[in-house]
Amino acid sequence: MAHAERETGSPGDRSHGLLASGVEMFAGVLMLIIGLFHVVVGLTALLQSSFYVVAAGYFFGADITVWGWVHVALGLLVGATGAALLSQQRWARLTGITIVAVSALGNFLFIPFQPLWSVLIIAVDVVVIWALATQVRGLPATRE
């Protein structure tokens, strides 16, 4: 529904539209933050690879430089999609869900390198997916 259409109608209808854009704004800002975090983690891996240590035999134990580039790329994608969401691009919602899901998967695979950090980013990724997947069409009628 277009922004102008959301503002017409009863005051209750306007509050639903404002809530939906607030949730999208929340998701967009979180995506910018997640993107920044990915870039920082990636640059740390690229510039100071000795910072990360993983036990031998980890199945997804790619070279830390590879993980660095993965995080930088994910950060740029997540951040750019978050910026597109904030500028109300129609494609950004579904693309955001997809890219943030990939971010969660990437952080899951990165757990042996930074367990606490990875789990926290996965949790924020899940919140973003929820926010993007939620569409407020109207509150259900109250039951008395």
Inform me whether the pLDDT recorded for 13 exceeds 60.
no
What's the Cα-to-Cα distance from 84 to each of 2, 12, 50, 66, 127, rounded to whole Å? Answer: 16, 28, 35, 27, 18
* Residue 50: DSSP 8-state: G
**Is 9 domain-assigned?**
no
Say if residues 18 and 112 touch (Cβ distance below 8 Å).
no
What is the pLDDT at residue 6? 46
Say if residues 39 and 76 touch (Cβ distance below 8 Å).
yes
**Is 22 domain-assigned?**
no
What is the pLDDT at residue 137? 40
What is the pLDDT at residue 49? 65
Q: What is the mean pLDDT of the chain?
A: 79
**Is 109 domain-assigned?**
yes
**Is 16 domain-assigned?**
no
Nearest to 26 by CA among 136, 143, 139: 136
Q: Which domain holds residue 89?
A: 37-50+64-136
**Is 41 domain-assigned?**
yes
CA atoms within 13 A of residue 74's CA, in its CB half-sphere: 27
Does this model's pTM top 0.85? My answer is no
Say if residues 118 and 108 touch (Cβ distance below 8 Å).
yes
**Is 141 domain-assigned?**
no
- 63-109 per-position pLDDT tens digit: 788 888 999 999 999 999 999 999 988 899 999 999 999 999 999 98
Inform me whether the pLDDT recorded for 43 exceeds 60.
yes
What is the number of domains present in the chain? 1
**Is 13 domain-assigned?**
no
**Is 89 domain-assigned?**
yes
